[in-house]
Amino acid sequence: MPFTLSHAAAVLPLVRRDGTGRGTLLPSVMIAGSFAPDLTYFAASGVPGGMEFGSFTHSLAGVLTADAVIAALLVGAWLLLREPVVALLPRTWQGRILGLVRGRGWHERPRGPLLLWGYVSAVLGAATHTVWDAFTHHDRWGSELLPVLDEEFGGQPLFWYLQYGGSALALLAVACFAISALRRCPDTETAGLPRLTRRARIGALALIGGCVVLGAAHRTARWLAYWGGLPERPWEIIPTLCFGAGAGLAVGLLGYAVMVRVRSGQMVRSGQGDPSAAVSRRSGPGPDLPSGSADPHRAEQNRPAAR
């Protein structure tokens, strides 16, 4: 898929509107698993061999091993990001969104079953990703199983339409699910959220947005340097843009979240109040936060000098 986030749509039937999973499944781990096979493509912005390793993460062995580990890392990153990211939103939205994204606490479950169902959830999410990709990419077992997917219509193979069209429809499904879930979710107490001043929020958004732009520009420049210009089919550069922007977004969000967490912890340790107010206070001058090819995936993998 050009948009990795679209893969979350495949596991939404297993997630309730209140943010909890059906049965004993863990929704955050399932969603992380649905992203996991593509994470090496984003990491390729700074990690040599990331594109090549994507072949393994999209295999059965990868689903059962590497993807489960990547999903666990993503969940850990999500727990770090969750409250700081919600704090960036308008305060009138925060309570309802926080209630949805927190779901149900894991501490209520015994550790053994929690780990088991966490692994099952990660593998299930990753499996939906690889199966979906199999029928929307060139030279995968799904397109080989159904040769009609390689037949061209209007100058493009059928799997290309499924890839881009399916990606757009899946994003729409995710948006509809989120809107429906938020309407049903009651407001939640937000006392534990960091409180950002207007200046801090603008600085954080500038930091994150700058990282997105730099990430996309870096990946695109590398692509253009290898090929010597834009492709004949402009959409072939879309995955490169998405991978670069996504990598930049990850760096920006993690940097922002760490600054918020560290500052909140420092304020609490110094006895200056509860963590929800930590980021809205100043300990000195200055802002609270410093400002500061028909298969695009396969084509990207085959560009060694553009990685």
304 has a pLDDT exceeding 70 = no
Angle in degrees, 0-180, between the axes of helices 66-87 and 91-102, rounded to the nearest 10: 150
Residue range of the domain that includes 190: 4-306
Q: Look up residue 225 and give its two tokens.
A: 């340097």
Q: Is 21 helix (H, G, I), strand (E, B) or coil?
A: strand
pTM score of the predicted model? 0.81
pLDDT band of residue 82 (cuts 50, 70, 90) is very high
Residue 230 has pLDDT above 70, yes or no: yes
pLDDT top residue among 17 and 117: 117
pLDDT of 129 = 96
> What angle, 0 to 180 degrees and rounded to 10, lies between the N-to-C axes of helices 66-87 and 50-57?
110
Residue 38 tokens, joined: 């593509």
pLDDT of residue 87: 94
CA–CA dist 181, 178 (Å, integer): 5
Q: Which of 13, 280, 198 is nearest to 124 (CA)?
A: 13
User: Rounded mean pLDDT of 259-272?
Assistant: 69
pLDDT in tens, 178-211: 999 888 888 878 777 888 889 999 999 999 999 9
pLDDT digits (tens, 9 = 90+) for 39-65: 999 999 999 899 999 999 999 999 999
Confidence (pLDDT) at 16: 86
Count up the domains in the chain and report the number. 1
Give, in degrees to the nearest 5, the angle at Cα 116 between 110 and 121: 115
Distances (CA, A) of 41 to 44, 53, 71, 78, 305: 5, 8, 15, 19, 15
The structure tokens 């843009």 sit at 241
Measured distance CA(168)–CA(81) in Å, rounded = 26
Q: Is the pLDDT of residue 305 over 50?
A: no
pLDDT in tens, 137-186: 888 888 888 888 888 888 888 988 898 899 999 999 999 999 998 888 88
